[in-house]
């Protein structure tokens, strides 16, 4: 019986796993400098958490969630995104009692039952950051600049930072009315989903990825033209903050978040040539979500980087695999036991040491050391055991140094 991983779900093998480690390490280092703390959230939650926050009429909830009943007949869902869980934890543990703003980050897998295609997976990974407790636009600018810093430190460039404002409870109703009026006579051009959702949430038509819908909504009003005074000032604050930090940005009035709890700032980082641009990270404000989850009216903002989207962008620059400091070639049982002990002692001293585990020939052991890229090789055979000394060969400059069977002596020889 042979098994394969599920469709749209991939293994991440070495050496590519080193690229993932690099992404995670760079993100963690950057988060730390900005005062973000890691929060580890469960992968599985009650289904209602997502239906309530992401929205009943969204593609995610309607079509893409891994939802099933557990043995206790409770409906549970593998998380399709991180913000809902984070806000749930924030409210559940009364984290709003801590000094504001609270800054968190998370790294981990998300699950969506999408049609698998290039760069899209059913288990995918996000690196997300969320700040709760301030609506100051300088924080919006700061979080965008932190995202910019992470991508730059990873050596990614040639991306655009797109920003917009999607308004608030005050200005959005007017926009919805205008949008409905404007689209009413072309509804026939939109897909079935858009038509079904039109009355419940006309903003969904702006989010739809069906090509005929993208075409049909051209020229429809944009929320950015309907912002109230407060929202305009907030948007100007964000632009000012980004300018102070010299972060280039473009305003994309067509960016939307179809969910009601999203407010004001929305941003995306896109990469690729015009026409085939892909979002590699996206974020925005959600000033209504904490209250929606039964907490106080506390504002929030966050983003998530799609790890699978950035891996190909840094893969080439990072294919160097690390290699062991020392490889023990052994001949005979006694030599093998001797190297078994020395290997363990040298690892304790901080070296990466490999040894031979079987009775293969010296030639094949040398081949193995070479394949691993071992920096030094030491051979233990009968003669070496008899003399109590062995020779370390530096594989790069071919220098040889005689050493005693002593971890300290070997370490000294290698560090030279």
- Residues with Cβ within 8 Å of 318's Cβ and at least 6 positions away in sequence, in order, are 18, 19, 22
3-state SS assignment for residue 236: helix
Whichever of 220 and 323 has its CB closer to Zn ion, that residue is 220
Structure tokens at 102: 């609270």
Structure tokens at 279: 């979002």
Whichever of 82 and 237 has its CB closer to Zn ion, that residue is 237
Whichever of 183 and 326 has its CB closer to Zn ion, that residue is 183
Residue 83: CB minimum distance to Zn ion, A: 21
Measured over the CA atoms of residue 88, residue 91, residue 93 and residue 99, the dihedral's sign is positive
Whichever of 133 and 167 has its CB closer to Zn ion, that residue is 167
Whichever of 84 and 194 has its CB closer to Zn ion, that residue is 194
Whichever of 257 and 309 has its CB closer to Zn ion, that residue is 257
Residue 95: CB minimum distance to Zn ion, A: 27
Residue 132: CB minimum distance to Zn ion, A: 20
Residue 61: CB minimum distance to Zn ion, A: 16
Structure tokens at 249: 């940005």
Per this entry, what is the length of the chain? 416
Whichever of 79 and 172 has its CB closer to Zn ion, that residue is 172
Residues that bind Zn ion (CB under 5 A): 167-168, 170-171, 191, 194, 208, 210, 213, 228, 231
Angle, alpha carbons 275-281-282 (nearest 5°): 95
Structure tokens at 130: 């969320």
**Closest by alpha carbon to 241, among 137, 132, 151, 131?**
137
330 forms beta bridges with 380
Residue 66: CB minimum distance to Zn ion, A: 24
Three-state SS sequence of 146-185: HHHHHHHHCCCCCEEEEEEECCCCCCHHHHHHHHHHHHHC
Residue 190: CB minimum distance to Zn ion, A: 5
Rounded CA gap, 340 and 196, in Å? 69
Residue 165: CB minimum distance to Zn ion, A: 8
Whichever of 182 and 345 has its CB closer to Zn ion, that residue is 182
Whichever of 69 and 236 has its CB closer to Zn ion, that residue is 236
DSSP state at residue 330: E
Rounded CA gap, 132 and 98, in Å? 11
Rounded CA gap, 108 and 216, in Å? 37
Answer whether 270's CB lies under 8 Å from 160's CB: yes
Helical pair 83-92 and 47-54, crossing angle rounded to 10 deg: 110
User: Residue holding tokens 């300290």?
Assistant: 408
Residue 302: CB minimum distance to Zn ion, A: 20
Residue 184: CB minimum distance to Zn ion, A: 15
The number of angstroms, rounded, from the C-alpha of 72 to the middle of its chain's C-alpha atoms is: 32
Measured over the CA atoms of residue 188, residue 189, residue 195 and residue 201, the dihedral's sign is negative
User: Residue holding tokens 């026409």?
Assistant: 275
Residue 212: CB minimum distance to Zn ion, A: 7
Measured over the CA atoms of residue 189, residue 194, residue 196 and residue 202, the dihedral's sign is negative
Whichever of 208 and 305 has its CB closer to Zn ion, that residue is 208
């Amino acid at each position: 019986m042979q098994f394969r991983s599920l469709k749209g779900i991939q293994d991440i093998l070495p050496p590519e796993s080193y690229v993932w480690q690099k992404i995670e390490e760079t993100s963690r280092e950057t988060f730390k400098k900005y005062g973000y703390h890691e929060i580890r959230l469960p992968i599985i939650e009650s289904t209602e958490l997502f239906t309530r926050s992401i929205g009943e009429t969204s593609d995610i909830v309607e079509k893409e969630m891994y939802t099933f009943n557990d043995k206790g007949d409770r409906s549970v869902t593998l998380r399709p995104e991180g913000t809902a869980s984070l806000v749930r934890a924030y409210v559940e543990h009364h984290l709003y009692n801590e000094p504001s703003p609270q800054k968190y980050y998370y790294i981990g897998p998300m699950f969506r039952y999408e049609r698998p295609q290039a760069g899209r997976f059913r288990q995918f990974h996000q690196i997300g950051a969320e700040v709760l407790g301030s609506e100051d636009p300088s924080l919006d600018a700061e979080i965008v600049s932190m995202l910019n810093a992470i991508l730059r430190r990873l050596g990614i460039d040639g991306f655009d930072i797109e920003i917009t404002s999607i308004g608030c409870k005050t200005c959005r109703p007017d926009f919805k009315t205008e949008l409905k009026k404007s689209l009413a006579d072309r509804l026939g051009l939109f897909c079935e989903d858009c038509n079904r959702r039109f009355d419940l949430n006309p903003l969904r038509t702006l989010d739809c990825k069906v090509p005929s819908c993208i075409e049909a909504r051209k020229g429809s009003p944009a929320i950015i033209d309907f912002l109230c005074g407060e929202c305009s000032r907030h948007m100007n604050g964000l632009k000012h903050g980004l300018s102070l930090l010299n972060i280039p940005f473009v305003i994309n009035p067509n960016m939307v978040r179809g969910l009601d709890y999203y407010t004001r700032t929305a941003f995306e980082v896109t990469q690729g040539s015009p026409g085939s641009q892909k979002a590699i990270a996206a974020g925005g404000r959600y000033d209504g979500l904490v209250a929606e989850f039964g907490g106080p009216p506390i504002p929030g903002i966050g983003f998530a980087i799609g790890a699978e989207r950035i891996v190909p962008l840094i893969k080439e620059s990072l294919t160097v695999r690390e290699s062991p400091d020392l490889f023990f070639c052994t001949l005979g049982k006694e030599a093998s036991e001797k190297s078994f002990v020395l290997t363990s002692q040298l690892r304790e001293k901080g070296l990466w040491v490999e040894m031979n585990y079987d009775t293969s020939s010296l030639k094949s052991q040398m081949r193995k050391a070479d394949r691993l890229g071992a920096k030094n090789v030491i051979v233990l055979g009968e003669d070496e055991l008899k003399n109590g000394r062995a020779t370390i060969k530096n594989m790069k400059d071919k220098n040889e140094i005689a050493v005693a069977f002593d971890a300290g002596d070997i370490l000294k020889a290698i560090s030279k």
